[in-house]
Amino acid sequence: MVFMQSTLRYSNIPIFIPELACPHQCVFCDQSKIIGLNLIPKPNEISKIVETNLATMDDNRIIDIAFFGGSFTGIPFELQEEYLKEAYTFIKTNRISGIRLSTRPDYIDVKRLELLKKYGVTTIELGAQSTNDSVLIKSGRGHSFKDIQNASKLILDYGFKLGLQMMIGLPEDTFETATQTANDIVELGANSTRIYPTLVIKGTALEKLYNNGIYQPLSLEDAVSWSKEILRTFEKNNITILRVGLHPSEELVDGKSLIAGPFHPSFKEMVMTEIWNEIIFENLNGAKSKNLIIKVNNKQLNYAVGYKGRNKNQLLAKGIKVKFVGDPSFGKYQIDVSNN
């Protein structure tokens, strides 16, 4: 008898609420351009958005409604409640499992958390960006590391799942402050994270700093290499990495909004290529032949070969011809090098 194992997949129904009542001026931010959307849905439009999305989704999914794109708990209390009420009707009928939202650390308090709890919010993602106070000040964030610590603790005390997003390459950020931020995110008890390289977007304060020679973004190479270290830290601590690199919106891809910075539509693939580059070269020692078979997990195969075949080509340049083979029984970073 064959047993079919059903695998549940996770999906979000994203509802973007950009710049709604946000009084802050983070140097890097032009929300409407980053997400490529200028319209803010009204509460009475939520139901239609959710229904439209649900109609495209198969069963075997755990589905969340996700209020992203701004600081949800910064909008007027009554409006938050209107949005949440609409979303909550789908939880009551078991058509979605939870609600997640993004907000700022200084927009978290008992009153807001009580409201979120009442309407079935399950996960709160905080834009921490950095845990270094001088990076936060130079970036115009308007909150401190202490705010991140307080908010994180309160969120976990209330039984929500905690997401902490971070950025690399903010003004005054260094490899040390960025990796410290990753370690702090682990310490703060985050369940999930996102890693965003800082980009210079048209119309932001960062553009002026860049044009005046005060700010220099990370090179793509450094952004990939920093992200590699940070990603490994999160993985070692079982933190779910929801995203590495910005979503390639149309305006970023066609370059209309992007002034400078390490944007690449295949950013994550490049980071994974670096991780596999290290693993492969660490494991070549024993190999005497110039013809090798490298076996890895099949889901990691493309990363092992490398973005545009980088790892394969680097081996070739050293005179080593490799046949890469995928094996589903292998662990994520398991590797076997044998002679061909």
Which C-beta is closer to ligand SF4: that of 25 or that of 334?
25
Give bridge partners of residue 124 from the DSSP assignment: 101, 162
Which among 17-25, 206-214, 249-257, 281-289 is the span making contact with ligand SF4, rule CB under 6 A?
17-25
Closest distance between ligand SF4 and the C-beta of residue 201, in Å? 11
Decide if residue 29 touches ligand SF4 (CB under 6 A): yes
Residues 23, 170: Cα–Cα separation, whole Å: 20
Decide if residue 20 touches ligand SF4 (CB under 6 A): no
Decide if residue 22 touches ligand SF4 (CB under 6 A): yes
Decide if residue 164 touches ligand SF4 (CB under 6 A): no
Which among 21-29, 89-97, 111-119, 193-201 is the span making contact with ligand SF4, rule CB under 6 A?
21-29
Angle at 104 between CA 39 and CA 16, to 5 degrees: 20
Which C-beta is closer to ligand SF4: that of 19 or that of 82?
19
Number of residues that bind ligand SF4 (CB under 6 A): 11
Q: How many Å is the Cα radius of gyration of the chain?
A: 22
Which C-beta is closer to ligand SF4: that of 26 or that of 66?
26
Which C-beta is closer to ligand SF4: that of 26 or that of 200?
26
Decide if residue 257 touches ligand SF4 (CB under 6 A): no
Decide if residue 163 touches ligand SF4 (CB under 6 A): no
Residues 67, 12: Cα–Cα separation, whole Å: 10
Decide if residue 24 touches ligand SF4 (CB under 6 A): yes
Decide if residue 73 touches ligand SF4 (CB under 6 A): no
Which C-beta is closer to ligand SF4: that of 104 or that of 268?
104
Which C-beta is closer to ligand SF4: that of 29 or that of 224?
29
Which C-beta is closer to ligand SF4: that of 204 or that of 311?
204
Query: Backbone phi, then psi, for 167, in 5-degree steps?
Result: -120, 150
Which C-beta is closer to ligand SF4: that of 143 or that of 264?
143
Among candidate residues 138, 147, 202, 188, the one with its CA nearest the CA of residue 167: 138
x-marked contacts with ligand SF4 along 75-114 as a string, rule CB under 6 A: -----------------------------x----------
Decide if residue 202 touches ligand SF4 (CB under 6 A): no
Closest distance between ligand SF4 and the C-beta of residue 22, in Å? 3
Of the residues 71, 132, 297, 311, which one makes contact with ligand SF4 according to CB under 6 A = 71
Q: Could you give the angle at which helices 267-282 and 220-236 cross, rounded to 10 degrees?
A: 70
Decide if residue 61 touches ligand SF4 (CB under 6 A): no
Which C-beta is closer to ligand SF4: that of 142 or that of 189?
142
Residues 24, 30: Cα–Cα separation, whole Å: 11
Decide if residue 26 touches ligand SF4 (CB under 6 A): yes
Of the residues 35, 67, 70, 305, which one makes contact with ligand SF4 according to CB under 6 A = 70
Residues binding ligand SF4 (CB under 6 A): 19, 22, 24-26, 29, 31, 70-71, 104, 127
